[in-house]
Chains A and B, each alone.
Chain A
Amino acid sequence: DQQVKQNSPSLSVQEGRISILNCDYTNSMFDYFLWYKKYPAEGPTFLISISSIKDKNEDGRFTVFLNKSAKHLSLHIVPSQPGDSAVYFCAASDAGNNDMRFGAGTRLTVKP
């Protein structure tokens, strides 16, 4: 059963515009959420995270929003750059139960 879902397998955005990647989860025990970025032929690299006690975390062009009541988080990239083109994975963890789940990923393409 997929406890973390990224319902959009792909997203295409023009350079300079905002990219919004979405992630939904079903397990209310998840208390820490992460986004990873993956280029072809490389492993995922950590991008940004958020604890369940916050609803927003910002790091430069990247902002993650968490809506606990909707069990939804999103990653905003502003402004989008061609180098942001990659697959983005959402992950959620329940440290108390030693559980971490990944979404299937969203492929972002930023067009020049």
Chain B
Amino acid sequence: DGGITQSPKYLFRKEGQNVTLSCEQNLNHDAMYWYRQDPGQGLRLIYYSQIVNDFQKGDIAEGYSVSREKKESFPLTVTSAQKNPTAFYLCASSIVGGHLNQPQHFGDGTRLSIL
């Protein structure tokens, strides 16, 4: 069964810690995305990748980093530089890299909280 898997579902971070959120897809999609959702706001794009070993910043990339070493994987690291990391994080993928006229497939999200 093809899909996107995000782990963990819930994550707690201490002040000053970096944490990494996992995103794996077996849909053979070229493009992958990370979004952040805050209450009362739409999804905001953090980073996206159209192809392996390449990625671009979205609207709110500060305090985050990503890598795309494999087509199937697009992990997101929330660094200590992100001052307000508490949010719901969604990973998505789509068929054609960089072509936004394609529906995106989403994972079930990771909720990150600060201890």
Contacts and interface: CB of A to CB of B under 8 A. Distances in A.
A49 B101 CA distance: 9
B107 A2 contact: no
Give the dominant DSSP class at B's interface.
Answer: loop
A12 B41 CA distance: 20
A100 B100 contact: yes
Interface in B52-82: 56
B40 A9 contact: yes
Contacts of B42: 2, 4, 6, 89, 101-105
B50 to A, nearest CB: 9
B85 to A, nearest CB: 19
Contacts of A26: none
Contacts, number: 55
Interface residues of B, number: 23
Interface stretch (A14-22, A67-75, A76-84, A90-98): A90-98
B98 interface: yes
A43 B41 contact: no
A4 B41 CA distance: 10
B99 to A, nearest CB: 6
A93 B101 contact: yes
B99 A95 contact: yes
A59 interface: no
Nearest to A42: B108
Interface string B78-115: 00000000000010100000111101111111000000
Given A44-B90, A104-B41, A99 B100 contact: yes
Given A2-B42, A100-B45, A103-B42, A43 B100 contact: no
Interface of A: 2, 4, 6, 9, 31-32, 34, 36, 41-46, 49, 51, 89, 93-95, 98-105
Across the A-B interface, the 5 shortest Cβ-Cβ residue pairs? A43-B106, A102-B42, A46-B103, A93-B100, A102-B43
Given A43-B108, A51-B101, 16 more contacts: A6-B42, A9-B40, A31-B101, A36-B106, A41-B109, A43-B4, A43-B6, A44-B43, A44-B90, A44-B106, A45-B106, A46-B104, A46-B105, A94-B100, A101-B42, A104-B41
